[in-house]
Amino acid sequence: MTRTVPSTDPANHPAVARLPGWLLMPGLAWLGIFFFIPLLLVLVISFAARGTYGGVEWTFSLTSYANLIDPLYLTIFVRSLTLAVATTALCLLLGFPMAYYMARTPLRWQAIWLLMIMIPFWTNFLVRTYAWMFILRTEGLMNTLLMDVGLIASPIEILYSDVAVLIGLVYGYLPFMVLPLYAALARLDFSVVEAAWDLYASGWGVFWRVVLPLTKPGVIAGCILVCIPSLGAFITPDLLGGAKTMMVGNLIQHEYLVVRDWPFGSAISFVLMGVVLLGMMGYLKVEGVWRERI
Amino acid sequence: MTGNSVEVRDVVKCHGTTLAVDHLSLEVRRGEFFSILGPSGSGKTTTLRLLAGFERPDRGEILIEGRSMRDVPPNLRPVNLVFQTYALFPHLTVFGNIAFGLEMRRIARAEIEARVHAALDMVKLGGKHDRLPSQLSGGEQQRVALARALVNRPAVVLLDEPLGALDQQLRQEMQVELKTIQERVGITFVCVTHHQEEALTMSDRVAVMDHGRLLQIGSPQDIYESPASAFVANFIGVSNRLTGRVAAVTAARCTVSVPDLPAILAQRPVGVTEGGRVTVVLRPERLHLSRDVHQNGFDNAVPVRIDKTVYNGNEMQYLLRLSDSVLWKVRVPNSGANQKRFLTGEAVFVRWNADEGVVLTE
* Integer CA distances (angstroms), A229 to A59, A198, A278, in order: 32, 41, 16
Nearest in space to B190 (alpha carbons), one of B206, B175, B210: B206
Contacts of B134 in chain A (CB under 8 A): 5
pLDDT in tens, B295-323: 677 888 899 999 999 988 888 889 999 88
Interface touch B138/A4, C-beta < 8 Å: yes
Interface touch B87/A202, C-beta < 8 Å: no
Interface touch A2/B91, C-beta < 8 Å: no
Q: What is the DSSP string of A7-70?
A: P--GGG-HHHHTGGGGGGHHHHHHHIIIIIHHHHHHHHHHTSEE-BTBSEE-S---HHHHHH-S
Whole-angstrom Cα distance, residue B32 to residue B217?
Answer: 14
Angle at A58 between CA A52 and CA A62, to 5 degrees: 85
Nearest in space to B133 (alpha carbons), one of A70, A195, A97: A195
Q: Which helix (H) or strand (E) holds B192?
A: strand B188-193
Whole-angstrom Cα distance, residue B354 to residue B297?
Answer: 11
CA distance B238 to chain A (A): 30
Contacts of A198 in chain B (CB under 8 A): 52-54, 74-75, 79-81
Q: Kindly state the DSSP code that residue B164 receives in the 8-state scheme.
A: T
Interface touch A200/B75, C-beta < 8 Å: yes
- The pLDDT, as a whole number, for residue B113 is 96
Interface touch A2/B167, C-beta < 8 Å: yes
The pLDDT-based confidence of A291 (bands split at 50, 70, 90) is: low
Interface touch A191/B81, C-beta < 8 Å: no
Interface touch B104/A201, C-beta < 8 Å: yes
Nearest in space to B8 (alpha carbons), one of B211, B204, B231, B214: B214
The CATH fold of domain B240-361: OB fold (Dihydrolipoamide Acetyltransferase, E2P) (2.40.50)
How much is the mean pLDDT over chain A? 88
CATH of the domain at A115: 1.10.3720.10
Whole-angstrom Cα distance, residue B33 to residue B200?
Answer: 11
Q: Which residues of A touch B (CB under 8 A)?
A: 1-5, 189, 191-192, 194-202, 205, 209-210, 213-214
Whether A37 is covered by a domain: the verdict is no
For CA atoms A90, A94, A97, A102, the dihedral sign is negative
Strand, helix or coil at B185?
Answer: helix
Secondary structure (H, E, C), A269-283: HHHHHHHHHHHHHHH
Angle at A70 between CA A69 and CA A73, to 5 degrees: 100
What homologous superfamily is domain B4-235 in, according to CATH?
A: P-loop containing nucleotide triphosphate hydrolases (3.40.50.300)
Whole-angstrom Cα distance, residue B114 to residue B112?
Answer: 5
Minimum-distance CB partner of B137 among A1, A192, A198: A1
Whole-angstrom Cα distance, residue B152 to residue B102?
Answer: 6
Interface touch A191/B73, C-beta < 8 Å: no
Whole-angstrom Cα distance, residue B355 to residue A85?
Answer: 82
Whole-angstrom Cα distance, residue A94 to residue A174?
Answer: 8
* Integer CA distances (angstroms), B126 to A165, B113, B144, B183, B238, in order: 57, 13, 11, 20, 41
Interface touch B138/A1, C-beta < 8 Å: yes
A113, A117, A119, A120 alpha-carbon torsion, rounded to 10°: 160
Pairing mode, if any, of strands B358-361 and B277-282? antiparallel
Please give the average per-residue pLDDT across A157-168, as a whole number.
91
Interface touch A1/B52, C-beta < 8 Å: no
Q: Is the pLDDT of residue A4 over 50?
A: no
Q: Are the beta carbons of B163 and B86 closer than 8 angstroms? A: no
Whole-angstrom Cα distance, residue B328 to residue A60?
Answer: 98
Whole-angstrom Cα distance, residue B18 to residue B274?
Answer: 40
Contacts of B75 in chain A (CB under 8 A): 197-202, 205
Please give the average per-residue pLDDT across A213-234, as a whole number.
92
Whole-angstrom Cα distance, residue A120 to residue A136?
Answer: 19
Q: Are the beta carbons of A193 and A206 closer than 8 angstroms? A: yes
- The pLDDT, as a whole number, for residue A77 is 92
- Among A8, A198, A210, most B C-beta atoms within 10 A, so best to mutate, is A198
Interface touch A3/B138, C-beta < 8 Å: yes
pLDDT in tens, A80-105: 999 999 999 999 999 999 999 999 99
Q: What is the DSSP string of B213-267?
A: EEEEEE-HHHHHHS-SSHHHHHHSS--EEEEEEEEEE-SSEEEEE-TTS--EEEE
Interface touch B87/A189, C-beta < 8 Å: yes
- The pLDDT, as a whole number, for residue B1 is 47
- Give the bridge partners for B28, in sequence order: B6
Q: What is the DSSP string of B87-140?
A: ---TTS-HHHHHHHHHHHTT--HHHHHHHHHHHHHHTT-TT-TT--GGGS-HHH
Interface touch B139/A213, C-beta < 8 Å: no
- Its domain, for residue A96, covers 83-246
- The pLDDT, as a whole number, for residue A3 is 42
Where exactly are the structural domains of chain B? 4-235, 240-361
Contacts of B54 in chain A (CB under 8 A): 194, 197-198
Position with higher pLDDT, A22 vs B221? B221
In chain A, pLDDT over 70 holds for what percent of residues? 94
How far does CA A271 lie from the centroid of its chain?
18
Residue type, A127: V
Which residue in chain B is spatially nearest to A212 when comparing CA positions?
Answer: B91
Q: Are the beta carbons of A240 and A132 closer than 8 angstroms? A: yes
Whole-angstrom Cα distance, residue B151 to residue B153?
Answer: 5
Minimum-distance CB partner of A192 among B74, B87, B138: B87
For CA atoms B43, B48, B53, B57, the dihedral sign is positive
Its ipTM equals: 0.85
**pLDDT tens, per residue, chain B with 362 residues:** 468 999 999 999 999 899 999 999 999 999 999 999 999 989 999 999 999 999 999 999 999 999 999 999 999 999 999 999 999 999 999 999 999 999 999 999 999 999 999 999 999 998 899 999 999 999 999 999 999 999 999 999 999 999 888 888 888 889 999 999 999 999 999 999 999 889 999 999 999 999 999 999 999 999 998 888 888 988 888 788 888 999 988 888 889 998 888 888 988 888 788 888 898 989 888 888 888 777 677 888 899 999 999 988 888 889 999 888 888 999 888 887 777 788 899 999 999 988 888 888 87
CA distance B202 to chain A (A): 23
Contacts of A205 in chain B (CB under 8 A): 75, 104
Residue B351: CA count within 13 A, CB half-sphere: 15
Interface touch A199/B104, C-beta < 8 Å: yes
Strand, helix or coil at B17?
Answer: coil
The pLDDT-based confidence of A151 (bands split at 50, 70, 90) is: confident
- Among B51, B54, B75, B130, most A C-beta atoms within 10 A, so best to mutate, is B75
Position with higher pLDDT, B171 vs A6? B171
Contacts of A218 in chain B (CB under 8 A): none
How far does CA A289 lie from the centroid of its chain?
25
Phi, psi of A151 (to 5 degrees): -75, -30
Whether A113 is covered by a domain: the verdict is yes
Minimum-distance CB partner of A198 among B74, B90, B138: B74
Total domains in chain A come to 1
Whole-angstrom Cα distance, residue B298 to residue A8?
Answer: 63
Q: Are the beta carbons of B251 and B268 closer than 8 angstroms? A: yes
Q: Is the pLDDT of residue A292 over 60?
A: no
The pLDDT-based confidence of A224 (bands split at 50, 70, 90) is: very high
CB-count burial class (<10 Å; 0-12, 13-18, 19+) for A36: exposed
Strands (E), B283-346: 288-290, 300-311, 315-321, 327-333
For residue A101, give every residue at least 6 positions away whose Cβ sits within 8 Å of its Cβ, in sequence order, or none. none
